[in-house]
Amino acid sequence: MTYSLEQLKKSWIKYLEDGAFEQLFAALGEHLNFESDAHSVYTQLRSRHTTNHNSEMLGNLSTADALLENNKIRTSLLDLIKKLTPADLNNGSASNAPGADPLDALAQQLEVHTSLSLLHLVNCDRREAVRSFNRSYGRWQEAQRAFQFYYILACPTQEPEGFSARIIYQLIHDNEERHQHSLNYRRHPDTGRVRIEDLPVSFTLKNCQEAFKKYFAERFGLGNTSFEEYLQTGLPRLQWEHVTTVMKISTQAWDPELIQNYLQWLMDCFVTINTHAPNFLFFFVISVKNAHHKEKVRRSDREVLDTIGELVTSNTEHATLINALPPVEAAYFEDWLEDICQPDQQLKNKIIDTIAQKLSPEEMEQFQTEDKLLNMEHLQDFQKRVYKFHS
């Protein structure tokens, strides 16, 4: 199938509207003629976007200034796309155009009958994990425990980051009828999606503590107020009902003693606060390959599981471990499709079979079982495609 320049422009403008900068830059880089002026402009804008993002992540640029620059880049990209001519494209653009992927075509074919939200990017299955969260959250809300810590431990193929985002989007949905600003969370300024941040880790416990204090000061604008003082005097003045934080803990250079002492200190800082405050929900995402197959976990990763297990066991009054994130039965993915568009069985089978064509030999082995198991990363990939075309 070939695509006209106008079809390409429409697809790229859709990326821009969705804030999908990575996909847009990838598409432009693939399809623009390297020798064209348009390619030079594209290169400059991509560099500006990368610099802006990195500066904000490092704390060298405020969120407001980063958003302002982001909007300028967005405007320049829109202008670039609108002015493109056939001469600006390389010869291979038509055959590699967005939509050529059969999963894109299937996503477009769906007749979505519901208004899609960010929740639809991450709300497939996870019944056991959701129940685990609900039990802990409900128990702690009833006990009026304002500071809650959730450790999400799973294989990266099962998208533990997506599960954390799902809980936040669900809380937003459940509270939006009461008032608009009931929940505070860090988000990407261009998409509004939950931002997954790295837990700041350094060489020593003291350095780790200082790094977290710096993060906290930047996020809540402490100014000259110390971290310790703000916890006692600043938190009661916050107007939100919930404040959520999602942080990823790297396991690349895992030091059990350092990480356990660091996380214990962090929890102690909050749970010992003797004053009224919003509900603070911390989600710590820990990715361990094959976490859902304990016998396949690498020896070096077993100490990660042990560290987190011991930490949660020692803090059951305010911490819980959520690790029920296995591959998903295809039937649950069919349920998700039914919820948004009620496709016929033939179309559902075609979507699942097309996803299966991309599986590795190991993934195909689990797919060929009675339950037709699929890793969540493949399902969330299709959810993103549906959201891109129908939101």
Whether residue 1 contacts residue 96, with contact meaning beta carbons closer than 8 Å, is answered with: no
Which contiguous run of DSSP H or E holds residue 243? strand 242-248
Tens of pLDDT, residues 167-176: 999 998 887 7
Count of Cβ atoms closer than 10 Å to residue 265 Cβ:
14
Q: Tell me, what's the pLDDT at 304?
A: 97
Q: Tell me, what's the pLDDT at 21?
A: 86
Q: What are the beta bridge partners of residue 324?
A: none
Q: Is the pLDDT of residue 23 over 60?
A: yes
Tens of pLDDT, residues 235-253: 999 989 999 999 999 998 8
Q: Tell me, what's the pLDDT at 40?
A: 78
Q: Tell me, what's the pLDDT at 317?
A: 96
pLDDT greater at residue 47 or residue 246: 246
- Alpha helices, DSSP H, located in the chain: 5-17, 21-31, 37-57, 63-83, 102-109, 127-142, 160-175, 205-220, 227-233, 256-271, 299-313, 330-340, 345-356, 361-367, 376-390
Tens of pLDDT, residues 158-215: 999 999 999 999 998 887 765 555 899 999 877 889 999 999 999 999 999 999 999 9
**Average pLDDT estimate for 327-346:** 97
Q: Binning pLDDT at 50, 70 and 90, where does residue 260 land?
A: very high
Tens of pLDDT, residues 271-294: 999 888 999 999 999 999 999 998
Task: Give residue for tokens 């503590």.
Answer: 209
| Closest among 232, 208, 228, 201 to 217, alpha carbons compared | 228
DSSP 335-349: HHHHHHT---HHHHH
Q: Tell me, what's the pLDDT at 98?
A: 46
**Average pLDDT estimate for 106-124:** 93
Q: Binning pLDDT at 50, 70 and 90, where does residue 3 land?
A: low
- Percentage of the chain lying above the pLDDT 70 cut: 94
Indicate the pTM of the whole model.
Answer: 0.76
Q: Is the pLDDT of residue 90 over 80?
A: no
